[in-house]
Structure 1
């Protein structure tokens, strides 16, 4: 493995101070494009976590007393700082997890927009007047913060997801302990630097990096953590759920997806192909909402297949910092091995590779975790690649005869995060909206992505059924206090 002596060591951020973990151990963040060391982050202990939680607990007493406008003004300042540093943050993201620089910059800009949206929430109502049975009394409800919240975030959106959890938590009066994925913890540190420069009071936001089994599980088990918001795998999500539920803490889980995109006989095939390219292969397919199953009616199956394969063959795979790269590497060696496993499993189960399935032959890419975008044909619901989340640039084509069959196939998985249909028929659209088992439903648009002002979350095994983003975040990050005043 290549080493970079100039690589910076990034510290935890606790109670307004940057400090090393008590263990003095560090974890290397590796560039998946070439295995260079991007930086080192702390391998923290429960002692470090306890210190951060205690700082957040103390800070929350004063933070919740500030007006929503005052808290919002600080969020506006954080947004300005991130916007000022957008190129550096985006470049760091690309170096840490491989997505192309334009995608990384777009994600960082989205983080800025999220902060500004929630900054505005500080001026919106936090309760209702409720008629009392006693005409001389005043009765109302008010939303109040939970206390200290733990945020556990993944590597695939290292700016957007930490911010879409942190911003509502803070604006509604909570304080935060953030545990980012170690693969992208350098990016997280750069985001927290912006909060620090914006002038947030000590202890309001804290960053603790380290192993999920230590810090993530520690947040779920900590008696002073009122709520945990987690995005990641189903396996870890269930562990978080059990630990939080065991002590009566609030929890929010956003987990896997096996998202279907249905192409009807009357669809605009070119539009559908473009949606699969963007929603299935951008970010190297490493989105929980990516289109991994494409269910096509037989009348347009051959046309769609041929056009999709032709477009996939044009994809330029390479380092995300190169301007002509369309798709970067898998985010880590582990993810690369996972994708290769599922490609082999698809072959063993009888699916046919139309394009891809291997790694680029370019010598300059030999030192990175690259997989060529892959399209499988002749996929059935019983196959592993049609059931399990791959989280890579692998698309499974599935042929059906009717829209009803397409919806049945789409629902034949444990997940229910996002789903899309391409059709011009209003009956098919309404049937799809009613019958599809997914939290995010789209018509004539890709499955990936979500509007920041809209609720986001899944059904079935994809989530704990709460919703993130938009005004829906208020439901998780606050609780309701009902007040009755008799004169």
Structure 2
């Protein structure tokens, strides 16, 4: 069992506490590595390294083009280590190996994308109302960025936060989830091989209260970017606000997947299955509320059950497995509790609803694909994020009711709309209070498209060009070119 250390200032450093935490393989149900149990001393060391890299090191004076070349080499090295990184992700969080190889390739593409944007950040010459004054704006890195990443997709979140931050010229301290930190530590060491200067990217691990809180509160951290639950996000937001730090938050969701009667039902069933059982439902965008028009509800539910019964649950390293374990023991128990709550509230369990057993299932963290009907949108199972393979089927009469039900939630991350009517697709998409709408598809992600939520699903955007803007400050410069002294035009502010 390998023991890891923090990655600070371009090298591995043991935790100040001299203590480590076990990280558990969710399939085997046993520890497979040890990660540092960090504290405020480690937090300070990491932030200091990042601050130094931005002010005194080569990163501070490097051209944007040179930064972009380093980011491109990070993408190259990612591709060169697909197998190693994919297997680490599977061991750490139970994701399917069959999916992770493609996911790591996508991580490399994220680095390539922002490598190309690094020297495309431009200022402006501004029109001025004052004669003899030239106005210029420049875009400058915001400073040291703290990236708090979630356990369900560590390397993906690392890339989505760090690649645009580095393209903007920032330095980063990453604090991954204590449940899945290994791949982030290994990846950080790979970036040195790409020529990334020491201190530009640091990874420290441990519990939120021990090291996460000191990082958020650190005066030299200028920005916090967080992915996780809305409850934890609210605490991070509150702490950051006390020091006027900029934040981006990618939080929870209770996404509606809306099936109209004129949809291609075969495609819609496949989208519904992928939308909730892909990744074991451990996705912020999980289509956990399946809204089906009443005229086709019975037919569609029968098709759905047939497809769901064929989902193979088991060893995530097996290429034929379609759904692996819950990534953490606490998450497993949370999902089991929500299944009990749904039954108590009167929902009818059509499929699953209990721990999964059978060949290839170990570790005690497996849950059967679960489908509930007779669900009211007011039930907790329809309003609260379960983050597991639990689907609620809810009927609706018409377009107006579908929109009303879809928007009747605290969340606003994503939605799916399945219809053969293009006019309806545009109308409903416009009416939905979410950051992303998928039309006749689901879980179609692109690093080129802005991603983020409305309402309690978050603040700011990741992916696309908009992500780089989150890590930049706009500075105004006004220069007098007048040949005579201008009149006193003092305007109090």
- TM norm structure 2: 0.95
| CA gap 1:154/1:449 in 2 versus in 1, 3 angstroms | farther
Residue of structure 2 equivalent to 1:205: 201
Q: In the alignment, which of 382, 390, 393 is matched to residue 389 of structure 2?
A: 393
* Cα contact 1:219–1:228 (8 A) shared by 2: no
Q: Quote how far apart the aligned CAs of 1:69 are.
A: 0.7
The within-5 A match list for 1:359-374 is 359-362=355-358, 364-374=360-370
Residue of structure 2 equivalent to 1:26: 20
Residue of structure 2 equivalent to 1:180: 176
CA distance in 1, matches of 2:265, 2:339: 26
SS at 1:159's partner residue?
A: helix
Q: In the alignment, which of 456, 459, 472 is matched to residue 461 of structure 1?
A: 456
* Cα contact 2:314–2:359 (8 A) shared by 1: no
Q: Cα deviations across residues 91-119 of structure 1 (Å, max 9, x unaligned)?
A: 11011111110221122111100000000
How large is the RMSD of aligned CA atoms in angstroms? 1.3
Q: Does 1:41 align with 2:35?
A: yes
The within-5 A match list for 1:213-252 is 213-252=209-248
Query: Which range is displaced more, 223-232 or 245-254?
Result: 245-254
* Cα contact 1:67–1:122 (8 A) shared by 2: no
Residue of structure 2 equivalent to 1:290: 286
Query: Which range is displaced more, 159-168 or 353-362?
Result: 353-362
Q: Quote how far apart the aligned CAs of 1:269 are.
A: 0.6
* Cα contact 1:92–1:187 (8 A) shared by 2: yes
Report the number of matched residues: 479
Residue of structure 2 equivalent to 1:479: 473
CA distance in 2, matches of 1:366, 1:190: 27
| CA gap 1:230/1:460 in 2 versus in 1, 3 angstroms | same
Residue of structure 1 equivalent to 2:273: 277
Q: Cα deviations across residues 196-251 of structure 1 (Å, max 9, x unaligned)?
A: 22121111111110111122212221111000000001111011111110111111
Q: Cα deviations across residues 275-333 of structure 1 (Å, max 9, x unaligned)?
A: 11112111001110110000000111111101111011001100100121111000011
SS at 1:291's partner residue?
A: coil
Residue of structure 2 equivalent to 1:126: 122
Q: In the alignment, which of 51, 54, 58 is matched to residue 52 of structure 2?
A: 58
Query: Which range is displaced more, 64-73 or 163-172?
Result: 64-73
Q: Quote how far apart the aligned CAs of 1:430 are.
A: 2.5
CA distance in 1, matches of 2:206, 2:321: 32
CA distance in 2, matches of 1:93, 1:109: 13
Residue of structure 2 equivalent to 1:4: none
* Cα contact 1:253–1:463 (8 A) shared by 2: yes
* Cα contact 2:38–2:211 (8 A) shared by 1: yes
Any unmatched runs of 5+ in structure 1? Answer: 1-6
* Cα contact 1:11–1:19 (8 A) shared by 2: yes
* Cα contact 2:19–2:37 (8 A) shared by 1: yes
The within-5 A match list for 1:78-477 is 78-134=74-130, 136-362=132-358, 364-446=360-442, 448-464=443-459, 466-477=460-471
Q: Quote how far apart the aligned CAs of 1:410 are.
A: 0.7
- The higher radius of gyration belongs to 2
SS at 2:119's partner residue?
A: coil
Residue of structure 2 equivalent to 1:68: 64
CA distance in 1, matches of 2:359, 2:114: 46
Q: Quote how far apart the aligned CAs of 1:420 are.
A: 1.2
Q: Quote how far apart the aligned CAs of 1:449 are.
A: 4.6
CA distance in 2, matches of 1:391, 1:280: 9
* Cα contact 2:118–2:167 (8 A) shared by 1: yes
- TM norm structure 1: 0.96
* Cα contact 1:103–1:283 (8 A) shared by 2: no
